[in-house]
Structure 1
């Protein structure tokens, strides 16, 4: 008899351990992290696609790095083209794909949409299931037991909550006087607020805010893309300006070397003093020093461009395309013909961050309503159903002492487990309850503070929107003045450069005929050198000012390949027989990879800069070469702004 009890005990314990192990193994196999990641990605990008409207820009290049790219996203296989020349469109493409700040912005968009996914899930049915098994001993009574349940809960849009659960509990006696049994529990509950928290707008406030936050982040991401492409193009031009300064410094040095040779011959002939020859020699030495400095500044700026904008290893070897500067020189200069007021009006319509600031007022107004709802009293209606059944009639005296660790649902069996002098146990027990929970608003100091803070926050959002509108107006007015100034300075410096060239040619000719001193030639050459740098600086400043103006007015749009365009420019291209495009645009406006033959890249000498060799060559990634930008034509700003504003107002 004792042996049989021990054997039954061992078998029961073995079954308990095995069942627990099986449950753990099944749970571990079901939790595949990659499946969760894939599902989260699908949910998040489905939300972004749903929220992203066409007026916000192209739906491209917003997927984070560990997610497969979209069909129109930039995919780079080679960073540096085979010819080693990095064109402006190619630089923008690389920056879009690699820039670290760009990656952070994409991740911020992803996380915001992920928060929206969770907010939506709060109003979806969510299921739960669990259980426990254990061994208990008290005195001579010893046994094993377990329980399991499964159910769901759901939050309704009007604040109500519904839930249901089915549970089962069992107990098997190993030794002692008590007997085992099996019980099942079915319960359902409904709770509905009638005062506080009963308004659908109040209940769904977190979901509403999450929905709007996702839209705000999409706007901010597109605003970032606009500022980003302008920043990359601007830095590209500034590096090319330093590159041109190296060319100018090298030309200045070679010219002075040539002048020195001519003056040396005049000195040997007795027509020029030795002092004048030494002055030319001194200027030549200083020109060499300027060349060394210019080479160093260009190399440093190029490395910073690789690091900050392109996020490439600084030892990656390539040269920028000097044809970009030549393309700028071919642009016909024109003064802005549209009014400042028209530019400001366009910005107030098109700036995305200003739209966020305006919508933030609506958010603050809703927060006031939520805070006001918290001042009310509570009145909640609840309904509950409960059914308990046992598999057989048993004397369960003392059973409660062996399974005190079971869940709260099983505690409903406790009244049935009290000793009943061997009376039969009822096999079913049904119950129902209905009632209300209420609370009078006697103490609402905390809620009062929340409400008052919400009113203050509303006033703050209004002031912030006014400040943002004033700031946008200030930016546009400044950009308008900068563009006007840059256009005029470009014209002036171009004229100054032509005059400096003529002065130097005449001065050199006069020296050769003995009708002028070498100082006059040196002064003319210095003026020519300064005029060359000033003309390039003014030209780049003009191009940058134009980009800043389009950016600040909000009319600049980013294409799938990362470059900028606009509806007005595309319309002008379709109306002309020979399509021409603005700076930085290729002839193909479709969102397809841009390809061309390598022979189209002009072969022009670039100044050689001596630097320490890198320990290891930079990794090369294969890709198709990018087409050179086509020649540009001036855009009529007045027509562009007026047409764009009409489109925005009609929308």
Structure 2
């Protein structure tokens, strides 16, 4: 509603209008916009009831130098698509890391539970030895100080058992939190998994033992030759480092992202260089029709007549006299490119280091498996023989306690070697980029036999 007039006359009416338009930017940089508007003026006073107006306009702008071309114009869209790809890769890498952390926590929890069982068995053995020493001391077959030694060892065994139980409980609670369960949730671990894992790795311990005195023994003053680890029983993931690094360069998502970021930085250099050019723009506009208002009530309704339209063309030129800001952006883009290249090279060196370390650790833990397997066998035999000699009065209680301690240490070390070797296999696959997680959350490993 509005009014218009002077002292002689006053006009009263309402003005309604509507407008529709479109704007689009094309791949070559051409910008086009068009709009059409219609308004209706309804008079409440005066000699006319209503009249309407229509106005259409369009404009076009075509860059000819700076900012022209598909490469420049599509860069925002191209970069947005690549950022989406980077986010997907980052999430995929997060899934791999998270799954690996769960496996690591689970195996460490199984190891802690096995350590509790080892400590409990050792505690029982020490208690039995202490009882036997007490009876032997009462019968005069054992000095009292040796019984005291047995009691002290029993106290240490109890303390170690309690400490192992608490560590196992803490490890279990940490695992619950990691998988999203409350600490008071009741869960049962599949402890047989650790035994099955030890059986799977048993093939690595076959072959010639690292310490063998079953054959002819060389003189004590003979030269000692240190033998390198035997790789004849290498595991399925112990491949050549050259092939492993080449595979990682193909599969690592974070490395692919850094390589793509180098390409992004190169494009930004070219775009910043384009901004230093002169700007030449060809433009044009057209307007057809008229709007109506209270001031032109004496005119007829507007007509959409293209012959009576208004048309104009314009050619603008902006010479690159002042490009300080653009020059600074260009220099920054060059620095960003150098930083992206260094980040890529640093990641390549990091991948090489991680993979070579993984392969060395696999070799080390395989040797530890062999050594500790032999150590457990020897320790069990030593406990039996020492116990027999003690009952025959040909050994001291200290010998038996030391044998039992050696057996416990070998058992814990063997369990640790089994878990460490398996975790190194997972870690190697993660560093190679071949460890994947299915939609159901299951880890899927890759058979690397063809890369050996």
Q: Tell me the CA shift for residue 349 of structure 1.
A: 2.5
- Per-residue deviation at 1:453? 1.3
**What CA distance in whole angstroms lies between the structure 2 residues aligned with 1:431 and 1:258?**
111
Q: How big is each residue's C-alpha offset from its partner over 1:4-32, in whole Å with a ceiling of 9 and x where there is no partner?
A: xxxxxxxxxxxxxxxxxxxxxxxxxxxxx
Secondary structure of the 2:280 match is strand
1:285 aligns with 2:155: yes
Q: How far off its partner does 1:244 sit? A: 0.7
Cα distance change on mapping 1:311 and 1:640 into 2, 3 Å: farther
Q: Which structure has the higher relative contact order (CA within 8 Å, separation 6+)?
A: 2
1:596-607 map, 5 Å: none
Structure 2 Cα separation of the partners of residues 426 and 266 of structure 1: 127
Q: Matched residues in 1 for 2:115 and 2:192: separation?
A: 15
Say whether 1:376 aligns with 2:245.
no
Write out per-residue CA displacement over residues 384-437 of structure 1, whole angstroms, 9 at most, x where no aligned residue. Answer: 22222568xxxx6xx36xxxxxxxxxxxxxxxx4xxxx9645733532222223
Q: Which residue of 2 aligns with 1:208?
A: 78
Name structure 2 gaps, 5 residues minimum: 205-232
After TM superposition, list the pairs within 5 Å mapping 1:474-493 onto structure 2.
474-493=353-372
Partners of 2:189 and 2:265 lie apart in 1 by: 49
Q: How does 1:97-496 map to 2 (within 5 A)?
A: 143-174=13-44, 181-308=51-178, 310-330=179-199, 331=201, 332-333=203-204, 334-335=233-234, 338-389=239-290, 399=294, 417=296, 424-425=299-300, 427-428=302-303, 430-496=309-375
CA RMSD of aligned residues (A): 2.6
TM-score (norm. length: structure 1): 0.59
Q: Which residue of 2 aligns with 1:31?
A: none
- Contact 1:257 1:284 survives alignment (8 Å): yes
In structure 2, the partner of 1:641 is 451
Post-superposition shift, 1:200? 0.5
Number of residue pairs matched by the alignment: 413
Measured after TM superposition, the shift of residue 374 of structure 1 is 0.7
1:295-339 Cα shifts (integer Å, max 9, x gaps): 11111111111112x122222210211111111211221336643
Are the counterparts in 2 of residues 181 and 390 from structure 1 also a CA contact under 8 Å?
no
Q: For the Cα contact (< 8 Å) 2:251–2:433, is it kept in 1?
A: yes
Q: After superposition, give the CA deviation of every residue in 1:147-179 in whole Å (9 maximum; x if it has no partner).
A: 221222211111112222221223344569998
Q: Secondary structure at the match of 2:80?
A: helix
**Aligned-partner SS, 2:309:** strand
C-alpha distance in structure 1 between counterparts of 2:48 and 2:116, whole Å: 99
SS of equivalent to 2:337? helix
Partner Cα separation in structure 2 for residue 264 and residue 135 of structure 1: 115
- Once residues 246 and 302 of structure 2 are traced to their aligned partners in structure 1, the CA distance between those partners, rounded to angstroms, is 79
Deviation, 1:494, is: 1.6
Once the two structures are superposed, the pairs formed by residues 56-67 of structure 1 within 5 Å of their partners are: none
Over alpha carbons, which structure has the higher Rg? 2
Residues 242/253 of structure 1: CA separation in 2 closer, same or farther (3 Å cut): same
Question: 2:290 & 2:240 partners in 1: Cα distance?
Answer: 84
Using a 3 Å threshold, how does the CA distance of structure 1 residues 291 and 323 change in structure 2: closer, same or farther? same
Residues 188, 520 of structure 1: CA spacing in aligned structure 2 closer, same or farther, 3 A cutoff? same
In the aligned structure 1, how far is the partner of 2:420 from the partner of 2:166?
22
Q: Deviations over 1:215-252 (max 9, x none)?
A: 22333333333333222211111111111111111111
With normalisation by structure 2, the TM-score equals: 0.84
Distance verdict in 2 for CA 1:187–1:538, change over 3 Å: same
